[in-house]
Structure 1
Amino acid sequence: MAEERIETIIKEIQYWKKSHLLPKEYCDFLLALYTQGDEDPDSLEMEPGIAGKRSAAVLTGSTLFLLPLSFLVIYFTEIDPLLQTGLLSTFAIFTFFYGRFLKKRNNFQFHIPVIVGFLILLLLSVSMFHTFYTNNKIIYLLLLANSLLWVGAGIRLKLYYLIAAGAIGLILTIILTVLEVFT
């Protein structure tokens, strides 16, 4: 039998033993049969338990909570603009590092922090531009730069939704710029 199939069967038997789907003696016998007696029946490779999955879900949920919290910090508080910049930068950095952490662990949830991080970065750049500058026509360059950043990051990370969002942002920014010029 191929090594890969044997490994799959062994993992499945270990799961049965851990979940008590078969009696322990049967699982020990099957493990001894498939490992040819090399594996200690009591040394199971345990998958991350419920606590690990729950903490990942809590961190992902808190990452989702950072986006509305960012809007709250910008539009509904009287915090100093420098403090707003620092706080939103911290939010963006946290989401990107958490997304990187999840991607290294091959967790499918890494997309959520990436999306939230880029949205917070867009929000940060636009709000800080409005805080420090009054010329609204230059905002199109900022939107263009953000869209190009999204496309570049999407190409580098091979995330097609990021490429699509950046391309849509580029098209909409160009359309808005043309409309602004001709009106």
Structure 2
Amino acid sequence: MEQKRKEIIINEIKYWKQTRLLPEQYCDFLLALYTEGNRDDIEQPTRQVPTWAVRVTVAMIGICLPLALLVIYFTELSFVLQTLILSLFVIICFIAVRFFVQNKMLTHMALIVGALSLLLLSIRVSDFYFSGSTNALAVAVMFNCFVWLLIGWRFSLMYFFISGVVGIILLISSFFI
């Protein structure tokens, strides 16, 4: 049988299995038959993540950014405590990204909140150590723009890539205008 024809049949059987048009055992048998026992190209079933774990993770991420803003702008906490709390928020967001990527789930919210928390953290640290220095602030923002470019390239997210490019262009143009 032609290879192209086999691929069409295999894709159709996979579709039947996914939509449950045929029982799973029948689909597995047909796939084994048409792939001649070579089951490397057949995707293994992914493990299901409990819905409570997803909800808790999304709730934690959704709370991180408002709490970060609250900690920075509306409390009289020391710089060290503010930095530790913001660092914790960034770590939580990027652990959540890793969790979502491993389970092939939506990562956008965790990436956005993590990137904004990192921006807040770097601006706060720059402002504390180099008070009033626009060059240090520009370096911190440039660092964040490069992180956004990296995230956009790594996860193929155009909005992160565009944000990084636009941020760099605006930052460079602000020094020359």
Determine what percentage of the aligned residue pairs are the same residue. Answer: 28
Q: Unaligned 5+ residue runs, structure 2?
A: 1-5, 30-44
Structure 1 residue 137 displacement after superposition: 1.5
Counterpart amino acid of 1:99?
V
Q: 1:68 aligns with which of 46, 66, 69?
A: 66
- TM-score of the two chains, using structure 1 as the length reference: 0.71
- The match for 1:96 is 94
- The match for 2:117 is 120
Partners of 1:46 and 1:166 lie apart in 2 by: 33
- The match for 1:157 is 155
Structure 1 residue 32 displacement after superposition: 6.6
Provide the secondary structure at the position in 2 that maps to 1:79: coil
Deviations 1:78-98 (A, max 9, x none): 112111111111110110111
Deviations 1:113-134 (A, max 9, x none): 0111111000000012112221
- TM-score of the two chains, using structure 2 as the length reference: 0.73
CA RMSD of aligned residues (A): 2.7
Counterpart amino acid of 1:68?
P
Deviations 1:101-153 (A, max 9, x none): 1012111x211101111110000000121122213322122212221222133
Larger-Rg structure? 1
- 1:3–1:58: structure 2 CA closer, same or farther, 3 Å change rule? same
The yes-or-no answer on 1:85 pairing with 2:92 is no
Provide the secondary structure at the position in 2 that maps to 1:89: helix
Counterpart amino acid of 1:125?
S
Structure 1 residue 33 displacement after superposition: 5.9
Q: How does 1:3-152 map to 2 (within 5 A)?
A: 3-13=10-20, 48=48, 52-107=50-105, 109-138=106-135, 139-152=137-150
Greater helix proportion: 1
- The match for 1:24 is none
- 1:177–1:5: structure 2 CA closer, same or farther, 3 Å change rule? same
